[in-house]
């Protein structure tokens, strides 16, 4: 099963590398990884999408916690949370395709961010399945290049009671 | 003190920090990037620097020192090759959770990344094999970093910590401020066990019919041997030990079933296979212990006490985990136990297994065998020695035949299985332990892997007894070749290419003797034990093709345990 894991790490030399080394060294899978600043100046947040059965995910969380540079590890799988991803998609333009692409872009609430005679770049933001859907629909037009940011995620302010188990560990 | 008086150079800060960490011994080798440190070391008198002959030797010596004493072992080496030579030792310390701090020199900050002379990204290279590592980029961070390094290495589940010191940082000056307290927000080991979990453990053990304690090196590291002995004896619980756990509980106690696992005793493995409650204390369900995990202790309710949460449910999913310091948790369980479980029948069953298939060896053909030598060493030392083994057959025979009275007496490379460990580790241990004999036991293969450290032993007059069990083969590999690889003895026969070990020893200035006669073992050992102010070397030329039994084949179940050689005609 796919799990999104949010990790707060010390914002210093080598912290990212330690996390990446741990994943490769233990043979865990990384579907996507993103890292960026947080509201606290010396802490970064890594959002890692990984997959595995319960035992593997349990190990991933424990191994992340074991690293000295990690401050907090939260498996978001059993929490109410928001996930977003951004994709930049560059498409070839053919006769009459510009209008169609623009329409699809609007449906997905995307933006056109660059255009030439031969190509057009759009930006789509949303949950990863929305990005997948946009990519699927756009593929027939000829995707020249694509960059996806990987997922960023945050827990919602209020956690409802149906939450099965608290996977939050510090 | 005026502020200006407290301005120190990096090298001075380095030694000031070591002094405050109560470091008394440091194993090292000088080189370009650490010259400034060695310049100051010349005038430092609170610690002894032991010059090794290869940096790997320094790390193993620090490991031996740490394992024997419980203190942090310290290594100091230069950049580049000096640093990369420590890698095997660091990996070894990581696998066996040995608290050591490795200081490596590094090229000046402005040259890092330039492929400078003797540059290696040692922090990057050792990232997966250290508990943590630091590159000190500013002399102002030096004292706090060293403080953290010792703290991280020695607390929680211990392990190696590497501190990389660029040459310019060591040459810079700053105000020396020593942080008395360490605060690392991402590192808070759990020591106290969960109260309800402990209550549950007590209930389960009290109701058990066939309980078994499965004890690992964690009990020794936490200093919990006394608590364990009390707990086991009060409740008549049999104790099986892992390779690293040997010494945690007296091997002569009737409750000890010896080592379990691949080369464990028949009765220990039968006990694991049959027990209804398995209590793992400071052990990690290593594959050499479990064999096939699906059938390991298949009928047992499994309890796992460990300070490292990642060890729990890693290899074997357990029924009841407790994260915390095993010493305290054993004490708490013991104090809460209502009545001891009735284990009389269970213990007599184990004794039947013990008699059914005891540890035996061929001893009536007049030829010398490893088991005989180990038994003789045991006889002479009565389990009081510090035994430092290498890796291979002799290591397993020692684990089977030497019965340790005390913790921190069995020093060996378990997790990584590093040939070449024993010789330097025994040297390191000799600086920590002064009142008990220190015996290094190696095979002829492993002895040659750090043979250069003989001069470290000779130069420092360490009273280590170097014992070479020479079967002229890489014996354990040969055993696998015979059993599982079609008897193709590919590159394991050293009989035509081994050196004359007596001459080697003498070349290093060490009194050396050799024999292949069982009748001479006594007198040679007596000679060795009469020498206490310098090293001595004994070579025992043993039978070439003996095999270690019992043996549970790799990944196999206890039911597949081989208890003796299947084809006796091969008993050469």
User: How much is the pLDDT for B235?
Assistant: 97
- Pick from B133, B185, B285, B311 the residue to mutate for testing the A interface (most A CBs within 10 Å): B185
Domain end marker among A40, A57, A78: A78
Domain end point (choices A21, A53, A78): A78
B133 touches chain A (CB under 8 A): yes
Give the confidence band of A167 by pLDDT, cuts at 50, 70, 90. Answer: very low
Number of domains in chain A: 2
Q: Which of B440, B444, B431 is nearest to B536 (CA)?
A: B440
Q: What CA–CA distance (Å, rounded) separates B160 from B93?
A: 6
- CB of B314 within 8 Å of any CB in chain A? yes
Nearest-angstrom CA–CA distance, B245 and B213:
11
Report yes or no: B136 at the A interface, CB cutoff 8 Å.
no
CA distances from A144 to A92, B81, B113 (A): 6, 47, 35
Instruction: Residue B106: name the closest of B83, B145, B79, B133 by CA.
Output: B79
Residues A126, A68 within the same domain: no
User: Is A161 inside a domain boundary?
Assistant: no
Which residues form the domain of A105?
84-152
Whether the CB of B499 is below 8 Å from some CB of chain A: the reply is no
Residues A33-65: tens digit of each pLDDT: 999 999 999 999 999 999 999 999 999 999 999
Per the CB < 8 A criterion, the answer to whether B131 and B102 are in contact is no
Residues B124, A10: C-beta atoms closer than 8 Å: no
Do A102 and A47 fall within a single domain?
no
Report CB contact under 8 Å: B310, A13.
Answer: no
B476 part of the active site: yes
A23 part of a folded domain: yes
Quick check: B503 and B451 in contact, CB under 8 A? no
Q: Are B257 and B357 in contact (CB under 8 A)?
A: no
Residues A14 and A63 in one domain: yes
A27 with A13, same domain?
yes
Distance between CA A95 and CA A115 in Å, rounded?
A: 14
Residue A69 with chain B: CB contacts under 8 Å? 132, 186
B441 vs B422: CA distance, rounded Å: 7
End-to-end CA distance of chain A: 22
Q: Is the same domain home to A74 and A126? A: no
Instruction: Enter the ipTM.
Output: 0.91
* pLDDT tens track for B58-95: 999 999 999 999 999 999 999 999 999 999 999 999 99
- The model's confidence at residue A158, banded by pLDDT at 50, 70 and 90, is confident
Q: Does B313 touch chain A (CB under 8 A)?
A: yes
Active-site residue identified among B55, B63, B227, B453:
B55
Taking an 8 Å cut-off on Cβ atoms, the answer to whether A10 and B186 are in contact is yes
b/e code A139-163 from CB counts within 10 Å (16+ = b): eebeeeeeebbbbbbeeeeeeeeee
Same domain flag for A117 and A92: yes
Neighboring chain A residues of B123 at a CB cutoff of 8 Å: 14
Q: pLDDT band for position B566 (50/70/90)?
A: low
Using the beta-carbon criterion (under 8 Å), do B187 and A68 form an inter-chain contact? yes
pLDDT tens for residues B528-547? Answer: 999 999 999 999 999 999 99
Q: Is the pLDDT of residue A114 over 60?
A: yes
Q: Percent of chain B having pLDDT more than 70?
A: 98
Q: Based on the domain organization, do A60 and A10 belong to the same domain?
A: yes
Identify whether residues A52 and A114 lie together within a single domain. Answer: no
Q: Which residue of B has its CA nearest to A7?
A: B186
Q: Is residue A140 part of a domain?
A: yes
Residue A11: Cβ within 10 Å count: 18
With CA atoms as reference, report the closest residue to B265 among B167, B359, B139, B386. Answer: B359
Task: Give A163 or B331, the one with higher predicted confidence.
Answer: B331
Q: Is the pLDDT of residue B30 over 50?
A: yes
Query: Does residue B571 carry a pLDDT above 50?
Result: no
pLDDT band at A168 (very low <50, low <70, confident <90, very high): very low
What value does the mean pLDDT take over residues A132-160?
94
In angstroms, the Cα distances linking B430 to B361, B420, B462, B509 are: 32, 17, 6, 18
Per the CB < 8 A criterion, the answer to whether B58 and B450 are in contact is no
Residue B118 appears among annotated catalytic residues: yes
Contacts of B124 in chain A (CB under 8 A): 17
Confidence of residue A170 (pLDDT cuts 50, 70, 90): very low
In angstroms, what separates the C-alpha of B293 from chain A's closest C-alpha?
14
Comparing B365 with B535, which gets the higher pLDDT?
Answer: B535
Nearest chain A residue to B313 by CA: give it.
A55
Those residues with Cβ within 8 angstroms of residue B561's Cβ, 6 or more apart along the chain or in another chain: B266, B269, B550, B551, B552
Cβ distance B145 to B208 under 8 Å? Answer: no
Is A169 among the domain residues?
no
- Take residue B99 and report the two structure tokens written for it: 């608290």
For B:45-104, CB contacts with A below 8 A are: none
Q: Is B113 on the interface with A (CB under 8 A)?
A: no
Is-catalytic flag, B349?
Answer: no
Question: Active-site residue among B22, B39, B48, B117?
Answer: B117
Look at residue B567 in the predicted model and tell me its pLDDT: 60
Q: Which is more confidently placed, B1 or B369?
A: B369
Alpha carbon separation from A2 to A53, A81, B141, B529 (Å, rounded): 9, 14, 40, 63
User: Are A74 and A88 part of one and the same domain?
Assistant: no
CA atoms within 13 A on the CB side of B174: 17
CATH number at residue A117: 3.30.70.1150
Q: What is the pLDDT of residues B173-217, one digit of tens each?
A: 999 999 989 999 999 999 999 999 999 999 999 999 999 999 999
pLDDT value at position B362? 87
- By CA distance, what is B161's nearest residue in A? A68
- For chain B, give the percent of residues with pLDDT over 90: 96
B71: closest CA of chain A, how far (Å):
21
What distance in Å separates residue B479's CA from the closest CA in chain A? 30
- Residue B131 near chain A (CB below 8 Å): yes
pLDDT at B2: 52
Closest listed residue to residue B403, CA positions, set B255, B185, B262, B548: B255
pTM of the model: 0.95
CATH numbers and ranges of domains, chain B: 3-175 (3.40.50.970), 195-356 (3.40.50.1220), 370-549 (3.40.50.970)
* Residues A89, A72 within the same domain: no
Cβ separation B128–A22 shorter than 8 A: yes
Interface with B, mutate which of A25, A66, A74, A169 (most B CBs under 10 A): A66
Residue A170 falls within a domain, yes or no?
A: no
Query: Could you confirm whether B55 is annotated as catalytic?
Result: yes
| pLDDT single digits (tens) B290-306 | 999 999 999 999 999 99
Contact B121/A at CB under 8 A: no
**Residue B559 pLDDT grade (very low, low, confident, very high; cuts 50, 70, 90):** confident
Distances (CA, A) of B377 to A10, A57, A112, B387, B421: 52, 48, 82, 10, 20
A98, part of any domain: yes
Contact B186 A21 (CB under 8 A): no
For the residues B407-434, what does the mean pLDDT come to?
A: 98
User: Which residue of B151, B307, B310 to mutate against A (max A Cβ within 10 Å)?
Assistant: B310
**Catalytic residue (choose from B71, B167, B376, B541):** B167
Nearest residue on chain B to A14, alpha-carbon basis: B124
With CB atoms and an 8 Å threshold, state whether A18 touches B127: yes
DSSP state letter for B21: T
Q: Is residue A165 part of a domain?
A: no
pLDDT of residue A169: 39
Q: Would you say residue B1 has pLDDT above 70?
A: no
Tokens of residue B162, six digits: 């590497």
Same domain, A127 and A61: no
Contact B308/A10, CB-based, under 8 Å? no
Catalytic residue among B476, B547, B551, B561: B476
Query: Does residue B568 surpass a pLDDT of 70?
Result: no
pLDDT, tens only, A79-111: 999 999 999 999 999 988 999 999 999 999 999
pLDDT at B3 over 50: yes
> Across the interface, which of A9, A17, A71 has its CB nearest the CB of B127?
A17
A139 and A106 housed in the same domain? yes
Distance CA A69, CA A87 (A): 30
CA distance B306 to chain A (A): 13
Task: Check if B453 is active-site.
Answer: no
Domain-embedded: residue A168: no
In eight-state DSSP terms, residue B449 is T
Mean pLDDT of A9-23: 92
Residue A160 has pLDDT above 80, yes or no: no
Q: How far apart are CA A146 and CA B77, in angstroms?
A: 48
Q: What is the CATH number of the domain that holds A28?
A: 3.30.70.260
Which residue among B12, B24, B118, B314 is the active-site one?
Answer: B118
Task: Give the residue from A78, A95, A125 where a domain finishes.
Answer: A78
**pLDDT (tens digit, 9 = 90+) per residue, B377-403?**
999 999 999 999 999 999 999 999 999
> Is any Cβ of chain A less than 8 angstroms from the Cβ of B490?
no
Q: What's the N-to-C CA distance of chain B in angstroms? A: 76
Do residues B549 and B400 lie in contact, with contact meaning Cβ atoms separated by under 8 Å? no
């Amino acid at each position: 099963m796919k799990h999104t894991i949010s990790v707060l790490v010390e914002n210093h030399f080598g912290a990212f590398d330690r996390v990446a080394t741990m994943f490769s060294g233990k043979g865990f899978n990384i579907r996507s990884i993103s890292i960026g600043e947080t509201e606290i100046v010396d802490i970064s947040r890594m959002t890692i999408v990984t997959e595995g059965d319960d035992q593997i995910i349990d190990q991933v969380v424990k191994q992340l916690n074991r690293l000295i540079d990690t401050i907090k590890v939260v498996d978001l799988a059993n929490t109410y949370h928001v996930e977003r991803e951004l994709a930049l998609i560059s498409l070839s333009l053919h006769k009459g395709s510009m209008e169609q692409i623009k329409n699809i872009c609007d449906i997905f609430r995307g933006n056109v961010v660059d255009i030439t005679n031969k190509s057009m770049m759009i930006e789509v933001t949303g949950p990863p399945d929305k990005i997948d859907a946009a990519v699927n629909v756009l593929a027939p037009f000829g995707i020249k290049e694509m960059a996806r940011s990987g997922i960023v995620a945050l827990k919602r302010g209020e956690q409802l009671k149906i939450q099965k188990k608290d996977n939050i560990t510090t | 003190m005026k502020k200006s008086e407290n301005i120190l150079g990096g090298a001075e800060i380095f030694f000031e920090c070591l002094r405050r960490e109560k470091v008394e011994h440091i194993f090292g080798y000088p080189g370009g990037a650490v010259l400034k440190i060695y310049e100051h070391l010349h005038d430092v008198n609170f610690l002894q620097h032991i010059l090794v002959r290869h940096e790997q030797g320094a790390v193993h010596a620090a490991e031996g020192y740490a394992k024997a004493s419980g203190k942090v072992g310290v290594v100091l080496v230069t950049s580049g090759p000096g640093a990369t030579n420590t890698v095997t030792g660091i990996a070894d310390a990581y696998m066996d959770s040995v608290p050591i701090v490795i200081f490596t020199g590094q090229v000046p900050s402005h040259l890092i990344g330039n492929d400078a002379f003797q540059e290696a990204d040692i922090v990057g290279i050792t990232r997966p094999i250290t508990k943590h590592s630091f590159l000190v980029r500013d002399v102002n961070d030096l004292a706090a970093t060293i403080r953290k390094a010792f703290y991280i290495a020695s607390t929680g589940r211990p392990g190696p910590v590497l501190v990389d010191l660029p040459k310019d940082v060591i040459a810079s000056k700053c105000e020396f401020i020593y942080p008395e307290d360490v605060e690392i927000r991402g590192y808070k080991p759990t020591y106290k066990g969960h109260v309800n979990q402990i209550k549950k453990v007590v209930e389960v053990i009290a109701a058990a019919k066939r309980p078994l304690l499965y004890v690992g090196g964690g009990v020794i590291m936490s200093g919990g041997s006394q608590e364990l002995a009390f707990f086991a004896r009060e409740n008549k619980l049999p104790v099986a030990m892992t390779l690293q756990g040997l010494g945690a509980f007296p091997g002569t106690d009737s409750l000890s079933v010896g080592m379990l696992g691949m080369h464990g005793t028949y009765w220990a493995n039968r006990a694991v296979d049959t027990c209804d409650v398995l209590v793992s204390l400071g052990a990690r369900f290593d594959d050499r212990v479990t064999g096939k995990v699906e059938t390991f202790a298949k009928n047992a309710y499994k309890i796992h006490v460990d300070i490292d949460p990642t060890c729990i449910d890693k290899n074997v999913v357990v029924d009841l985990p407790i994260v915390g310091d095993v010493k305290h948790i054993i004490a708490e369980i013991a104090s809460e136990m209502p009545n001891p479980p009735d284990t009389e029948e269970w213990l007599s069953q184990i004794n039947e297994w013990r008699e059914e298939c005891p540890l035996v060896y061929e001893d009536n053909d007049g030829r010398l065998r490893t088991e005989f030598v180990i038994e003789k060493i045991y006889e002479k030392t009565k389990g009081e020695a510090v035994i430092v083994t290498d890796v291979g057959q002799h290591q397993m025979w020692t684990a089977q035949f030497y019965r340790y009275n005390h913790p921190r007496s069995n020093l060996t490379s378990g997790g990584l299985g590093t040939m070449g460990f024993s010789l330097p580790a025994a040297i390191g241990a000799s600086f920590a332990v002064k009142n008990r004999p220190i015996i290094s036991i190696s095979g002829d293969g492993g002895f040659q892997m750090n043979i250069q450290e003989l001069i470290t032993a000779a130069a420092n007059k360490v009273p280590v007894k170097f014992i070479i069990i020479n079967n002229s083969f890489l014996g354990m590999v040969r055993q696998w070749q015979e059993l599982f690889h079609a008897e193709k003895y590919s590159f394991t026969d050293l009989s035509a290419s081994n050196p004359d070990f007596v001459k080697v020893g003498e070349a290093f200035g060490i009194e050396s003797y050799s024999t292949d006669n069982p009748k001479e073992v006594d007198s040679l050992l007596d000679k060795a034990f009469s020498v206490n102010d310098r090293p001595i070397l004994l070579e025992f030329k043993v039978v070439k093709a003996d095999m270690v039994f019992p043996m549970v084949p790799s990944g196999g179940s206890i039911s597949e345990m081989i208890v003796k050689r299947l084809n006796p005609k091969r008993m050469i």
